[in-house]
Amino acid sequence: MGRVKAMLGAVIGMGVLIAALTAILVATVIKRLVHPHPTATAEMVVLGAPVQLDQPAGTRIVAAVRQSDSSLALLLSGGGRPDRVLVWNEQDGRIIAQAGLLR
């Protein structure tokens, strides 16, 4: 008789847990549908004047990521050199940091 009561208690306990977790899951889904998070958008980099970086011919910009209001990180490839990252200050028009990437 004791085993039956223990089994009945376990079944009821698991049923309560399943019901509670299902309610939490449904509430979370509804909350996210009603209050969606804003999606990240990529900013277009607009330069005021033509810029010339002191890089060898054949260098191409693979990616550009804004670091702050005045600096831009550029991933460069080619030009007979290993891939590299430049941090460029738009206000001064100069490179403030450079790092080479090893292959």
pLDDT tens for 55-73 read 888 999 999 888 877 888 9
Pick the closest to residue 75 from 94, 55, 91, 93 (CA basis).
Answer: 55
- DSSP collapsed to 3 states, 40-102: CCCCCCCCCCCCCCCCCCCEEEEEEEECCCCEEEEEEEECCEEEEEEEEECCCCEEEEEEECC
Contact in structure between 74 and 84 (CB atoms under 8 Å): no
- Cα–Cα distances (Å) from 48 to 45, 51, 88, 90, 91, in that order, read 10, 9, 14, 9, 10
Question: Which range has highest mean pLDDT (22-31, 40-49, 85-94)?
Answer: 22-31
Of the chain, the percentage scoring pLDDT greater than 70 comes to 88
Find residue 66's DSSP bridge partners: 72
